Amino acid sequence: MLTTQRRTPDTGHRTGLALTDVVGNLTVTRTGYVTAWYVAEPQRWSFKTDRERNQLVLAHAQRLAELTGRRLYLRITHRPYPVARWAEALHRSVVNPLPGWESYLQEEQLQVARLPLDDKVIYYGVRLGRVSGAGRAANKVLRGALDRELAALGRDLTEIDRTMSAPGMDASPAQAHDMDWLLTRSIGLGLPAPLDPPPQPDSVWSPSDLAEHTDGVEWSAPEPYAPHLRIAGDRNGQRVERYVTILTMSRMDLPDIPESGYGPWLQRLDRLRFPYEVSGVFDVREPAQTDRDIRDQLDRIRHQVNHHAEHDVDVPLQLSRQRDQGRGIEDETRSGFSGLATRVHGWIRIAVSAATAEDVRNRADQVIKMYSPQVVIKRPSDQYTMAREFIPGEDLAHTGYRRRMPVTTLAGSLPAATALVGDRVGPHIGSTSGVSRRAVMWHPWMSTEQRERSGLTVVLSTLGGGKSTLCGKVVYDTTRMGVPWVVLDPSGPLTRLCDLPELRPYSRRIDLMRAEPGTLNPYHVIPDPRPEHYTPEQYADYDDPALEASLALQRDTQAAAAQRRTLAIDAMRGLLPAQITGSQQTQTALLLAAGRTDASVHSSPHAIIKELEAESGLGLAEHAGHLAKLLHAAAELPQGQLIFPPADGDDRYQTAHQRLVVMSLRGLTLPADGTPPSEWTLEEQYSMPLLYLAGWYAQRSIYDRDMNDRKGLFLDETHALLSVPSGRTLVKKTGRDSRKHNTRALYATQDGGDILTAGVENWVDSVFVGRTIGAQAQRAALGLLGIEPGHGYEEILEGLSNQSRSSNTRLGWREFIFNDGNDGMERITVRLDRPALRDALNSTANPHRSRSNPFVELAKDGNR
C-alpha cells in the first residue's frame, strides 16, 4: 500500500491514489477526469541543420497549439535495457562462433554494464473531459455505465489521436505495458527499475488491480520541511530505499534555439550521469483567455505608469519593458493565424534520487548548476505533495512556480530529442559523447539481412584519426562471432591481429610481397561466377525463371572475362614508364594484344607479351616489340613476379578455410597524394598495380563462399585503389554486390572526396568520420554524412580526437561521427578496453617497443 503523509478519504480500495481506472490508454480519477496517454517516438536533434531544427520545433509547436483549451501532462522516465537481454540477443545472432565466444561475451557484458543503456520514454497525457458521478458510482457494480460514458468521448479522442500522431509530436496511444511501466516508475519514484517486468498486463484495470503497484511502496517525509522524502519498496527480491528530491523550474530566460547553439532545454538533463524523472503540467490557453490576461496585466502597468506621472517620477525601465512586452504579446495573439502565438501556463518538476541524503543533495545541486543562469531551479519545501504530481491522476500541489510562455518556448523543450545511433543487437563499439553518454551497439549485417540495404561502410579520417583502431575492433569482435574476414592492409600493422592467442589458430597472414610468383595474376584474381549463385528462385518475377537465371550467369561470365582484360591492361600499363603509358600507341597495342588472348581464369599476362611480340598490324610492330621487352624486364623484378606466374595454379586454399586472413603489402611504397605519375619513383610506379590487384585478390573471397553466409572485407588505403579504373570498378562491384552476397565492406580512406568522385555514394550504407582537416575534405565528409556544409559542423570534425598541448601521452580513444544508415547519427567515442587488442592495433611509432631499457638492465646489475 502507498502510505501517505496525510491520510485522505478512500472509497474502500486502499491504494491512496486519485486514479481509479485504466481503460486502454485512458485513465479515470475519483473526480471523473479522463486523460488519454501517448508514447512519443524518439527524435534526433544532433547534426541537423538550423533549418531542419527550426522545422522540428515549429511542427511541435503547431501540434501543441492544436490542444488549445486542454490540460497537457508530460512525463519523462527511463526504461532500462538489461545488459543480459543485449547479450542474449547478440548470442542468438551469431552463427558458428569461435571457441571462447561465451567467455568473450561475458567479458563484454561486464564492460557494457558500466555504461548507461536506459531508453528515454516520453509520455504525453491529454485531458479529454469528465465522466458523470453516476457512471463512476455504477462502476462499483457494473463497468458498462463507465464504458458508455467513455465511448461518448470518442469524437474528442479521435481528434486528439490525430493531433498526437502528426509530425512534430509522433506519438501513439500507450499500450498496456506502457501504462504498467508509467505507474511502476511513478509510484516507485526513484526506486531502481525492476529487472524482470511482470507478464503482459490487461488493458483494463480497476482499483483492486492498481493495488498491485501501491502495495509494498512507502512514501515518507523525514520532517515537515525536509529537502527530500524517502521512498521504499521491493525491487528485484530485496527491500530498497531511496532519497528523492523534487526540483521545480522558476524564472526562465531561455536563449533562442538552435541559433544560440543550445539544444532543447529538457535535453540538457540527458547529460546527467544519474537517473532523473520529469513531470510537467501545461494548460494550453484559449486566445480569449490570453487576451484577457494580457489586458488585465496592461491595465495594471498603465495604472502604475500614471501613478509615477502623478508624482512626476520617471517610469522605471523594467516597467517600460513589461509594457512593451505585453503589447507585443497582445499583437501576437490578435493577429496570429498559425496558432504559434498560443500561450501556455506550465509547471515543470524534476526528480532526482540517490541512496543517501548527501548524494541526492549533490545531485540536485548539479541540476541547479546545469541550468544556471538561464533557468532558476528551486527546491520547494513541500516535497511530498510535489512528488505526488508524478503519479497520473494526481492534482497540482499548488499553483506556485507557474511559468507563462509562448507555445514555441514549450516546443523548444523537445522532450523526445535524444541520442539515436546504432542498434541494440550488435557488438559494443563505443559510447555516445554528444548530448548524452549511451552505449552504442552495431550489428554490421543487420542492414543486409533485415533492411535489404547495402553493406558498404566508409571510414574517413586524417592520419592518426583512428581508422585502423575502429576497423580493427570491428574485425576482431565479429571474427569472434564466427564471421570470416579478409583484410587488405598496405602498411602491415593489422597483421598483428593474427598473433592474438584467441585468433591465432583461425587466422592466416599473407605477405603478398613475399608470396609465390603469380599470386596477383590479373586473370586469376577475378573468379568466374558460380552457377549455384543463379537459381530460378531469384528470377521468379520473369516468365521463364530458369532461362533468365541461365542468361544472367552467361552475362556475368562474359563481364568477368571483360574485366580480366581491363585489369590485365591496367596492370601492364602500371609496369611501364609514365612517358610511354600515356601514348595512344601504347593503349592501342595493349588493347589489341589483350583482345586476342584468352580471358579465362586460367590465362596469364605472358600471353599479352606474346601477342605484342607477334604484333604486325596498324604499324604498331616496332612499338609493340618495345613494349614486350619492357614488360619482360619488369616480369623479372620481384614486384613483377607477383603478376607474371611461372605456371597456372590455384591458391584459393590460402583463404578458403581461415576465419581471418590479413594480406599485408608491407614494403609497398605508394606515391604521395597529388604527385603526378611522371614524378613517381620506380618503386612507387610498381606499387600501384600491386595495390589494386591485391584488392581484387582480397575481394575474390566474397564469391568463394556461400551467398547467404556473412562475410567481411576491409580495404585500407581505398583512395589509392580509386585512382585507377580497375580500382574504381572493384570498389563499385563490391558495394553493388554486398547485399546480394551478405558482405560488410569497410572502405578506409583519408578523403571522402575520393568516394564521392568514384560514384559509389548510392551504395553507402553507413559512415564513420574521424578527425578531418581541410575545407575541401570536410565538405566531402559532411556530404557523405548527409549534412549540409556551412552550419558549423566543420569545426566539430576538426576537433575530433583532439589532444591538449600539455598532454604528453597518446590518446587511448578515438572519436567519430557515426551515421548508422538508419536515420541515426551521433558523435561517439571508441575505446579499446582489451589491452592485448589495443597493443595489436597501436600503429603509433615507439622506438622502445622492440628493445629493452638499458637503465633497467643497469639497475638489475646494481642490485646484484
Tens of pLDDT, residue by residue over 548-602, are: 999 999 998 999 899 899 999 988 988 888 888 878 889 889 999 999 999 998 8
Mean pLDDT of 651-656: 53
pLDDT at 855: 37
Mean pLDDT of 77-95: 88
Among 437, 480, 503, smallest CA distance to 90 is for 480
Strands 43-44 and 417-418: parallel
Residue 747 or 213, more confident = 747
pLDDT at 288: 59
Where residue 834 falls (left for φ over 0; alpha for ψ -120 to 50; beta otherwise) is beta
Among 321, 264, 214, smallest CA distance to 57 is for 264
DSSP assignment letter at 3: B
> Is the Cβ–Cβ distance between 787 and 49 less than 8 Å?
yes
Strands 485-489 and 660-664: parallel
> Is the Cβ–Cβ distance between 782 and 811 less than 8 Å?
no
Half-sphere exposure of 138 (CA within 13 A, CB side): 13
Half-sphere exposure of 47 (CA within 13 A, CB side): 26
Grid cell listed for 653: 586454399
At position 611, the amino acid (one-letter code) is: E
Q: What pLDDT digit, counting tens, does each position of 8-66 carry?
A: 334 434 568 999 989 999 999 999 899 999 999 999 888 888 888 999 999 999 999 99
pLDDT at 150: 72
Number of other CB atoms surrounding residue 196 within 10 Å: 8
Which pLDDT band, with edges at 50, 70 and 90, does 709 fall under? Answer: very high
Place of cell 586524417: 462
Cα–Cα distance measured from residue 82 to residue 448, given in angstroms and rounded to the nearest whole number: 26
At position 730, the amino acid (one-letter code) is: L
Cα–Cα distance measured from residue 5 to residue 341, given in angstroms and rounded to the nearest whole number: 41
Helix H or strand E segment including 239 = strand 238-252
Helix H or strand E segment including 335 = helix 317-335
pLDDT at 15: 63
- Range with lowest mean pLDDT among 18-22, 196-200, 279-283, 368-372: 196-200
Q: Nearest 10 degrees: CA dihedral of 728, 732, 734, 737?
A: -160
pLDDT at 242: 95
Cα–Cα distance measured from residue 39 to residue 43, given in angstroms and rounded to the nearest whole number: 12
Residue 434 or 848, more confident = 434
Q: Looking only at Cα atoms, what is the longest distance across the chain?
A: 115
Helices (H), 787-834: 793-799
Cα–Cα distance measured from residue 696 to residue 757, given in angstroms and rounded to the nearest whole number: 20
Q: What pLDDT digit, counting tens, does each position of 797-839 carry?
A: 999 988 765 555 667 789 999 999 998 999 999 988 888 998 8
**What does the H/E/C string look like for 248-295?**
EEEEECCCCCCCCCCCCCCHHHHHCCCCEEEEEEEEECCHHHHHHHHH
Q: Nearest 10 degrees: CA dihedral of 515, 516, 520, 524?
A: -140
Please, what sign has the CA dihedral across residues 58, 59, 62, 64?
negative
Whole-angstrom distance between the N-terminal and C-terminal Cα of the chain? 74
pLDDT at 454: 92
Mean pLDDT of 633-648: 81
> DSSP E strands: which ranges in 623-749?
660-664, 711-715, 743-749
pLDDT at 7: 36
Residue 77 or 682, more confident = 77
Cα–Cα distance measured from residue 761 to residue 752, given in angstroms and rounded to the nearest whole number: 10
Among 700, 697, 695, 705, smallest CA distance to 741 is for 705
Q: Would the pLDDT of 337 be above 50?
A: no
Grid cell listed for 88: 542474449
pLDDT at 862: 37
Cα–Cα distance measured from residue 177 to residue 98, given in angstroms and rounded to the nearest whole number: 38
pLDDT at 305: 67
Among 440, 450, 403, smallest CA distance to 420 is for 440
Which pLDDT band, with edges at 50, 70 and 90, does 138 fall under? Answer: very low
Grid cell listed for 420: 539515436
> Is the Cβ–Cβ distance between 35 and 25 less than 8 Å?
no
pLDDT at 108: 92
3-class secondary structure, 173: strand
Which pLDDT band, with edges at 50, 70 and 90, does 704 fall under? Answer: confident
pLDDT at 232: 94
Cα–Cα distance measured from residue 487 to residue 712, given in angstroms and rounded to the nearest whole number: 8
Which pLDDT band, with edges at 50, 70 and 90, does 338 fall under? Answer: low
pLDDT at 144: 61
86-117+421-514+658-864 CATH: 3.40.50.300
Cα–Cα distance measured from residue 387 to residue 410, given in angstroms and rounded to the nearest whole number: 22
Which pLDDT band, with edges at 50, 70 and 90, does 102 fall under? Answer: very high
Burial 23-52 (b: 16+ CB within 10 A, else e): bbbbbbbbebbbbbbbbbebbbbbbbbeee
Residue 182 or 843, more confident = 182
Cα–Cα distance measured from residue 482 to residue 650, given in angstroms and rounded to the nearest whole number: 25
Domain boundaries, the chain: 19-80+118-284+342-417, 86-117+421-514+658-864, 286-341, 517-650
